[in-house]
Amino acid sequence: MLTLIIGGARSGKSRFAQSLCCSSPRVAYVATARVEDEEMRGRVARHRQDRPPNWITFEEPLAISEIIRQHTLKFDFMIVDCLTLWLGNLCWSMRENSFQALEWRALDEVERLVETARSTRLVVVTNEVGQGIVPESPLGRLFRDLQGWINQAVAGKADLVYQMVAGIPIPIKSQKGGNATPHGSGSYRRFARAMWDHLERFR
């Protein structure tokens, strides 16, 4: 079962994700943040304090689907927090590659992530980044676009989708079907290919 929680910064996404799993004794938390300065170290410490002490934490900035695949049978729930930091890590790790290579890598990883939800109860946290200003740099615009496509892809496959607004979870999808996001084998690649061709006209 796949649950997606989407919202802006400090909207209560992580806390709500944890509340969905708190009744289970076997929960894994896949944290994607890189701790590279004191501000981020403080954020991570606060998140750790919010989690029950018996939860197991995996700190993995990139290979999230592999972590889930390796440990899925050991836990009742697995939380990925969050896809936005993961995508930022991927953009940085592939900064010398082409934009198209970054797109394919990101969408491939998301496809593998969605597949793991067939064998576990997976809760994925992500940010809504498309409602602010248009980024100045090409990489910033690609990041925004990629995050939007990734959110659509995961939401299209999710059983449940919640949007967080000021700490309040708003259910926006309660069952599969009736979603315009393309599904099926290779759908993410076809979707990305069409979007890439569209973007190329404006570069």
pLDDT tens column, 174-193:
875 544 444 443 554 555 55
Q: What is the residue extent of each domain of the chain?
A: 2-200
Plot region of 167 (φ>0 → left; ψ -120 to 50 → alpha; else → beta): left
Average pLDDT over residues 39-45: 70
pLDDT tens column, 49-61:
778 888 999 999 9
pLDDT recorded at residue 198: 47
Q: Where are the alpha helices (DSSP H) in 35-184?
A: 38-50, 64-71, 83-93, 99-116, 138-157
Could you tell me the pLDDT band of residue 87, with boundaries at 50, 70 and 90?
very high
pLDDT recorded at residue 71: 94
Dihedrals φ, ψ of 15, to 5°? -65, -40
Higher pLDDT, residue 182 or 108: 108
Q: Does the structure show a pLDDT above 90 at 99?
A: no
Domain 2-200 has CATH 3.30.450.20: no
pLDDT recorded at residue 143: 86
Higher pLDDT, residue 72 or 30: 30
Rounded to the nearest 10°, the torsion over CA 139, 140, 145, 151 is 120
Average pLDDT over residues 10-31: 93
Asked if 183 is an active-site residue, the reply is no
Number of alpha carbons in the 13 Å side-chain half-sphere of residue 189: 9
Options 47, 71, 183, 198, the catalytic residue = 47
Model pTM score: 0.81
